Chain A
Amino acid sequence: MALKTETMILNMGPQHPSTHGVLRLELELEGELIKNVKPHIGYLHRCFEKHAEAMTYPQVIPYTDRMDYLASMYNNFGYVLAVEKLLGIQVPERVEYIRVIMGELQRIASHLVAIGTYGLDIGAFTPFLYCFRDREKILSLFEMTCGARLLYNYMWVGGLSHDIHPDFVRLTKEFIQSFRPTIKELNDLLSYNKIFIERTANIGVLPLETAINYGVTGPNLRGSGLAFDLRKAEPYSIYDRFEFDIPVGQGLMGTVGDCWDRYYVRVQEMEQSLRIIEQAIDQIPDGDVHAAIPKRIKPPKGTVYFRVENPRGELGYFIISDGSPNPFRVKVRAPSFVNLEVLGELCKGHLVADVVAILGSIDIVLGEVDR
């Protein structure tokens, strides 16, 4: 006669260092093995979509900053592109170049936080300090440009809020020079570290079909081995003018699509972003940073769905306009919201300590999950 056993429910969060914010995971355990994971979200819900209906189109931009607060620049980027598509206006060349440079700098900054905190989750403290040291340099560049370090409100419909500082180009080039060796240092310290590999390789394998069915995008999808990047697949802005590669997970340390692959895709993406910035920084044309747009923005009736490649995946804005100065409906397809859904699938059969590793590798920002 077998011993009678029953599963145990364990709550992880809402306050826990590894959940990167306010997220509660309801773990169903059998001994130390995970049987099921139920994420409970909504602790940071700030009704962005309801607020947006009471604002005019330009007034929504500061609110988009506060969704994914580690990649604010890119949220602005996606929103203004969606509104510009609805209006059917062209922005000056100079604006396009500066937007791409800012977007890619933001991608590096966001990945640095992801990598640093991922190391911290698993127990490596030094890479976290190195990553944040370099992120500070990027934030200083942003501060020089628009006066803010975290929430920029920099990209406006039809242009930018400020022109770049005269020293911006020189300092950005210096940053690129100083950052290249840091990536190598990071790889020696963390990526090829035996303890780190033991904790992440072969853990939380995400098969490609599952990833597509769950709608997973961004580095998590590329970690599963599909070279799908919206900057290449549907080039927006002027991304079709630059040469860069799409890093994909190859299963170097374990299986394709495991935590290590997802992590390493981010490390490689930072190098590709540097390449894009290097190409763009020398080509910035002279000109104005504001397109001629009407004082009151009133798009024609209609709907638009526009998506961009956020550092975390596909960020889409679905906007319905009824011809008034306020949007009738704004729906945000937040990458973290969709990526988090696959967590339960990944954790089954792993240990409690692996949940931390898997959650860190998905790289969520709770501000975007809850909006």
Chain B
Amino acid sequence: MKTAEEIFDLLKKEFNDSILSIDKDTPTEPIISVDPFKIKDVCLFLRDNEELKFDSLMVLSGVDDANGEKIKDEDGTEIIKGGTLSVYYHLYSIPLKHKITLKVSTPRENPQVESVESVWKCADWHEREAYDMFGIIFLNHPDLRRILMPYDWEAGYPLRKDYKNPEFYQGMRVPY
């Protein structure tokens, strides 16, 4: 059993600059922010370290932070320029029974995060879903296709806050 602060100190010693900060003000769980291009090494360390043994990834979720500048498009709808998209990783250790939450943030215009599919196979579909819904590109992912939406869906990424429904999809009316 290790607390989030102890895990943070361990990571800081190992990776120093790649571990950005720890947010302790959240009501339920502390969140450790990590550099998006170092997340795979951090996760490998977390999985294989004898004192941590984070052998299971509970969930990987993409989030649109919607912290950019809101501007009006030509047709009067709001779009967001700038800001970040985030990915949250919730890890759990079955033998040691402790949890940790990691977070990476990446710019909205060019969202790129390193894939952790090679660390936990569980991340494969979760990352595909995050790509499908937010357009986050996971580098070195073996099979990054849309998973829930049709493969030829070209109207953008549905869970972004400024998503607009298209008028037509393959000649069929979308809004009914």
Contact = CB atoms under 8 A, between A and B. Distances in A.
A309 interface: no
Nearest to A44: B148
Interface in A6-41: 41
A316 B59 contact: yes
Interface in A327-367: 329, 331, 333, 337-338, 341
Nearest to A334: B59
Contacts of B27: 86, 88, 300, 302, 304
Nearest to B61: A331
Contact of B57 (A47, A50, A215, A331): A215
B88 interface: yes
A85 interface: yes
A163 interface: no
Interface in B1-59: 26-29, 31, 55-59
Interface stretch (B69-77, B120-128, B166-174): B120-128
B120 A318 contact: no
A22 to B, nearest CB: 12
Contacts of A47: 158
Contact of A338 (B55, B62, B101, B122): B122
Interface string B141-152: 000001111100
Interface string A288-324: 0000000000001011110100000010101010000
B155 interface: no
A1 interface: no
Interface in B65-107: 88, 90, 94, 97, 101
B26 A333 contact: no
Interface residues of B, number: 32
Interface in B109-139: 120-122, 124-125, 133
Contacts of A320: 63
B63 A329 contact: yes
A316 to B, nearest CB: 5
Nearest to B57: A215
A42 interface: yes
B125 A337 contact: yes
Contacts, number: 86
A250 to B, nearest CB: 19
Given A212-B94, A214-B122, A341-B124, A305 B26 contact: no
Nearest to A228: B94
B59 A331 contact: yes
B158 to A, nearest CB: 6
Interface string A174-210: 0000000000000000000000000000000000000
A370 interface: yes
A189 B29 CA distance: 49
A212 B58 contact: no
A42 B147 contact: yes
A137 to B, nearest CB: 35
Given A215-B120, A318-B61, A303 B29 contact: yes
Contacts of A214: 120-122
Contacts of A304: 27-29
A99 B31 CA distance: 31
A49 interface: yes
A169 B27 CA distance: 38
Nearest to A299: B27
A215 B90 contact: no
A233 interface: yes
A214 B122 CA distance: 4
A42 B149 contact: yes
A305 B120 contact: no
Interface in A127-157: none
A115 to B, nearest CB: 26
A120 to B, nearest CB: 28
A45 B90 contact: no
B96 to A, nearest CB: 12
Contact of B58 (A41, A86, A215, A329): A215
A341 B122 CA distance: 8
B58 A307 contact: yes
A42 B59 contact: no
A212 B61 contact: no
B130 to A, nearest CB: 9
8 A-B pairs with the lowest CB-CB distances in the bound complex, closest first: A215-B122, A331-B61, A333-B59, A42-B148, A302-B27, A45-B148, A304-B28, A302-B26
Interface of B: 26-29, 31, 55-59, 61-64, 88, 90, 94, 97, 101, 120-122, 124-125, 133, 146-150, 158-159
26 contacts: A41-B147, A42-B146, A45-B149, A49-B159, A50-B158, A50-B159, A85-B28, A86-B28, A212-B55, A215-B120, A215-B121, A233-B97, A303-B26, A303-B101, A304-B28, A305-B58, A305-B59, A305-B101, A316-B59, A318-B88, A320-B63, A329-B63, A331-B62, A333-B58, A338-B125, A341-B125
